[in-house]
Structure 1
Amino acid sequence: MLHLRLITPADVTEEAVRLIERTPGTTHLAVLPGAARNPAGDVVLCDVAREAGDELLSGLQTLGIHERGSIAVENIDLSLSKRADKAEEEAPGEAADAVLWEHLTDATHEESTLSVTYVAFITLATMIAACGVVLDNAILIVGAMAVGPEFGPLAGICTALVRRAPRLALRAVTALLAGFAIAMLMTVVFSLFMDWVGLFTEAQLEGDRPNTGFIYAPDWFSFVVAVLAGAAGTLSLTSAKAGALVGVAISVTTVPAAANAAVALSYGDTAQTLGSTEQLLLNLLGIVLAGTLTLLAQKLFWNRQRERTAAKSRL
């Protein structure tokens, strides 16, 4: 269930209340006339089943409440109410399948920001991966994959393509490309320093690396895994099952490929640099392609779900 807290202008309150009342899956409606001070207006509270949330939010935005008042949404972890149980039964579909498009857009917008924290995380992840490729240590590679924040901008690109949001797309692409560029540049410097102190050697990079050699040797399996991971990651975001993102992060060779390219570049190994860069681009393409198609499929599914629900209500 979701909890909605609205601040509505007095002239819109009745329309908002009627919209809430006729939306299947809503309950616990309360209206507090004149309770809001900044901005001034009425306070409207209600709970709604997650699977009906997107339709209700779209309707409330059509009334302009988000422009003249506010719409706040919170997840309800526990609701002991028979009326809430009935509301979830009345709502179409399943909660786990529902997509809150405004929430997804807002979340990916935040995760796609080229901030100091984002750059720090992707740089540290790339440096950890650099240690992993030189030492041929799979544990370090997995750790670097888990630390890397690059799925946020990738999800932002997918969301922007489906919702036709050019500003979000530009923001996400900028964060992705600039983030990797800065991380790889810093990793080149890091690699040169580690070589200077004797902790990295060219022999280690060029030697037999059974655990990490795949990073600079892309093949179709790399693309297939990236596609599967992109679909899984997108589903984890839209269904609020964030735990699956960890599995997604350690399934794709993005940060390790960037790290291997940076270390190889510091030693002038063109073959490994190009191979690793190809691996990186292949994974990024697979994730974006799969994520976009997954969101389009979910959008189509819920549009048909709404049409069936509307048809039933007219009977």
Structure 2
Amino acid sequence: MRLVQVLVPEGRRESVLDSLDVQGVDYAVFEEVGRGDFEAMVQFPVPPSGVETVMEELTKAGIRDDTYTIVLATETVVSQRLSALKERFPGLRISREELHARAEDLAPANSTFFSFLLLSTVIATTGLLLDSAATIIGAMVVAPLMGPAVSASVGTILADRRMASRGVTLQVTGLLAAIATAAILGVLLRETLLIPPGLEIREIPQVAERTSPNVLSLFLALGSGIAGSISIMRGSGSTLVGVAIAVALVPPAATSGLGLAFGLPSVALTGAVLVVVNLLAINLSALILFYLSGFKPLDAGEQEGVRASIVSRITVIGIALAVLSVVLAGVTYASFQTASFERETQIELQRQFDEADVEGVELASVTVDYGPADLLLGNQPRVDVLVGVPRDLDVPPDLAQRFDDHLTEQMGRDVVVRVGFVEAQISDDAETRPSLGRLVPDRPPVIRHG
């Protein structure tokens, strides 16, 4: 419930009270002696979703838009007309004035915003290098990105150009600062003993996750934007929602910075693309939800102009997001194709070994080195096969080439096959076929290429 307090201008008391009576609102009236142009103060309880409607009717009764008004959240209200008001205003949506106030509170001062964002980036960058999901999530608690993301959409919907401009500016400059911070930190860490020489950051799972984005990344961003909007409109869970928004933005920005630090343009570019896609998706989903929720500009005279501006902005963001989504769709398709190739290769080689049924010979492992980038660039898949053989068994010298020819025929593409051999020993009472862990080599494996 909300408790609304409004100063009534001179000569408007009767019309204001009549309006409240017509709307079925209980109220209390107090004489106003502090300011000469007001004759009374009226206060009344109303559900959150009814504040905007009741205030619009009071505006028609003579309450000016800039009149002194306070809206307070209350825990308990006892009123004879409360049940009827709850039935009339069943939703939980807050008024546009309250939405505007909350959006302003969420966007911190510049010094606070950049301090927390840079600290969050430092922690997230460390988490990426350590491959620690817990550290990355901890960094997201610090990141203050929810405020600018929400205030940009709220400012657009309510025709507050200053708020909208500041929200967009903080998001763009903040993420650029995050990329720069991660790049500087990466360069500094490379000069210390904290990072092993020759570290391949693309092989770190937390980094690889951000350098192979797919269409599923959009669901995180779209869901975060919608959740942020709902949390503001209903006043719950904004802290946790802020973590989700930060997860979609800060780790990819840190990944892009590390790509710059380690001289890997592909990592820097894919991380930056993911940042831009997520940023657009968050803003688009928030903007659409606020618009569909029926929020209107604070100034009634700007409604038509704002509606056209919102539609054009949604269209521009949607087109940009669609174009970038083509990139994500390409990565998604490439990831599916390479994963399918790896699985089919493993099944095909296992089938060959099962059909051969040579006593003592076991397929220890099959490793396929073939990523989405290799598919897009036309690189050949590389298949590494490890075979366990008894000491007294002679292996064919051209086994790698046989596998190569067979896979090329079955898969419809050229491959490069490497075969390694280890001498396998199996105890007499073994109940199961030996795995890689049971293959104990007496001499280094022999690697043959095809």
TM-score range, shorter chain: 0.7 to 0.9
Structure 1 counterpart of 2:6? 6
Structure 2 counterpart of 1:15? 15
Q: Does 1:92 align with 2:86?
A: no
- Between the aligned partners of 1:133 and 1:201, the Cα distance in structure 2 is 14
**Are the aligned partners of 2:3 and 2:73 in contact in 1 as well (CA < 8 Å)?**
yes
Q: Which region of structure 1 is more displaced relative to structure 2, 98-107 or 231-240?
A: 98-107
Measure how far apart 1:61 and its partner are: 5.0
Q: How big is each residue's C-alpha offset from its partner over 1:90-127, in whole Å with a ceiling of 9 and x where there is no partner? A: 42333x3x232121122223433552111111111111
Q: Which region of structure 1 is more displaced relative to structure 2, 261-270 or 187-196?
A: 187-196
Measure how far apart 1:138 and its partner are: 0.3
Unpaired runs of 5+ residues, structure 2, are: 296-450
Distance 1:17 1:226, change over 3 A: same
- Between the aligned partners of 1:181 and 1:201, the Cα distance in structure 2 is 27
Distance 1:146 1:202, change over 3 A: farther
SS at match of 2:248: coil
Measure how far apart 1:279 and its partner are: 0.8
Structure 1 counterpart of 2:281? 286
Q: Which region of structure 1 is more displaced relative to structure 2, 208-217 or 136-145?
A: 208-217
Map residues 174-189 of structure 1 onto 2, 5 A cutoff.
174-189=169-184
Q: How big is each residue's C-alpha offset from its partner over 1:163-215, in whole Å with a ceiling of 9 and x where there is no partner? A: 34333221111111122223333333333333334324574452522244212
Structure 2 counterpart of 1:54? 52
- Between the aligned partners of 2:22 and 2:203, the Cα distance in structure 1 is 67
Give the counterpart of 1:106 among 82, 86, 101: 101
Measure how far apart 1:7 and its partner are: 2.4
Distance 1:178 1:7, change over 3 A: same
Aligned length, in residue pairs: 293
Map residues 209-248 of structure 1 onto 2, 5 A cutoff.
209-241=204-236, 243=237, 245-247=239-241
Distance 1:143 1:204, change over 3 A: farther
**Are the aligned partners of 2:47 and 2:89 in contact in 1 as well (CA < 8 Å)?**
no
SS at match of 1:253: helix
Q: Which has the higher contact order (CA 8 A, sep 6+)?
A: 1
Map residues 100-139 of structure 1 onto 2, 5 A cutoff.
100-112=95-107, 115-139=110-134
Letter in 1 for 2:90: G
Measure how far apart 1:262 and its partner are: 1.7
Give the counterpart of 1:152 among 147, 150, 155: 147
Q: Which region of structure 1 is more displaced relative to structure 2, 212-221 or 7-16?
A: 7-16
- Between the aligned partners of 1:280 and 1:38, the Cα distance in structure 2 is 55
Map residues 257-268 of structure 1 onto 2, 5 A cutoff.
257-268=252-263
- Between the aligned partners of 1:264 and 1:136, the Cα distance in structure 2 is 15
- Between the aligned partners of 1:114 and 1:11, the Cα distance in structure 2 is 41
- Between the aligned partners of 1:200 and 1:101, the Cα distance in structure 2 is 51
Unpaired runs of 5+ residues, structure 1, are: 301-315
The structure with the larger Rg is 2
Q: Which region of structure 1 is more displaced relative to structure 2, 195-204 or 224-233?
A: 195-204
Structure 2 counterpart of 1:298? 293
Distance 1:182 1:139, change over 3 A: same
**Are the aligned partners of 2:94 and 2:234 in contact in 1 as well (CA < 8 Å)?**
yes
- Between the aligned partners of 2:197 and 2:68, the Cα distance in structure 1 is 59
SS at match of 2:144: coil
- Between the aligned partners of 1:47 and 1:247, the Cα distance in structure 2 is 29
Q: State the TM-score, normalized to the length of structure 1.
A: 0.82
Measure how far apart 1:257 and its partner are: 0.9
Map residues 21-60 of structure 1 onto 2, 5 A cutoff.
21-24=21-24, 26-27=25-26, 29-37=27-35, 41-60=39-58
- Between the aligned partners of 2:200 and 2:2, the Cα distance in structure 1 is 52
Q: State the TM-score, normalized to the length of structure 2.
A: 0.59
Q: How big is each residue's C-alpha offset from its partner over 1:121-161, in whole Å with a ceiling of 9 and x where there is no partner? A: 11111111111111111011111222211121111222233
- Between the aligned partners of 1:146 and 1:270, the Cα distance in structure 2 is 29
- Between the aligned partners of 2:207 and 2:184, the Cα distance in structure 1 is 21
- Between the aligned partners of 1:39 and 1:142, the Cα distance in structure 2 is 54
- Between the aligned partners of 1:192 and 1:4, the Cα distance in structure 2 is 56
